Amino acid sequence: MVRAAYVRLFRKYPIPLLIFSLFMALATTGYANITGSAHDFSGQGWGTDEICIFCHTPHNAKTPQLAPLWNHTSTTATYTLYDSPTMDQKTVQPRGPSKVCLSCHDGTVAIDSYGNRGGSHFIAASANLGTNLANDHPVSVPWNHQTTGGGSAPCANCHSFHGPLAYNLPFNGSHPAYLECGTCHEPHDKYPAYSTGKMLRKQLAGSAICLHCHGK
């Protein structure tokens, strides 16, 4: 009976239901991929066996809200920024969307500093970027490429965290939009086939992730 009801619905609304079904399948698969990823600290014995709690909480979130329902102690570091004479746009001190990542990856805040807990386990090795970002890809770069209408940003219609493309490289904000850590990296590891351990949104093979922007 249930199957027959679905058949009738698909006959009446074939395209919308197909789109909805694909969306739900992708969403379920994508968000499940954080389990077992490099951001899954549930098995570390750091006061919880939960996964999401290191960054998010359903209640009593921290302010400022660097990410939805933010639960991690935020970095207060000042950074040495990347600079180059070839850059048309200058970087600014990392904005909230990149400070979310740097709150672990600059090495000044413990990974297990979440909620009201003071942590003692700091990120190590190459994942610790430090506060000198002069030798790292710039983040918090305003993006004004291909603008029309006196400074509007049509690129953000596609390069958006809520854009229509499954494998886009999203910007943050608008007028201008900014390139942030999350432009190239997906913290929930939705695309493990591309990540090679780096939680990337596109593959490194053939420099695909670089040429997505730099080949334009």
Bridge-based pairing of strands 177-179 and 141-143 is antiparallel
Distance CA 189, CA 198 (A): 9
Residue 13 lies in a domain: no
Number of domains making up the chain: 2
- Write out the residue range of the structural domain in which residue 131 sits: 44-135
pLDDT in tens, 146-162: 444 444 445 555 555 55
Distance CA 197, CA 212 (A): 20
Determine whether 126 is exposed, middle or buried from the number of CB atoms within 10 Å of its CB (0-12, 13-18, 19+).
exposed
For residue 20, tell me if it sits in a domain: no
Q: What is the reported pTM? A: 0.77
Residue 128 and residue 48 share a domain: yes
**129 and 76 together in one domain:** yes
The pLDDT tens digits of the residues spanning 37-89 come to 899 999 999 999 999 999 999 999 998 899 999 999 999 999 999 999 888 78
Same domain flag for 74 and 117: yes
Does 104 lie in the same domain as 79?
A: yes
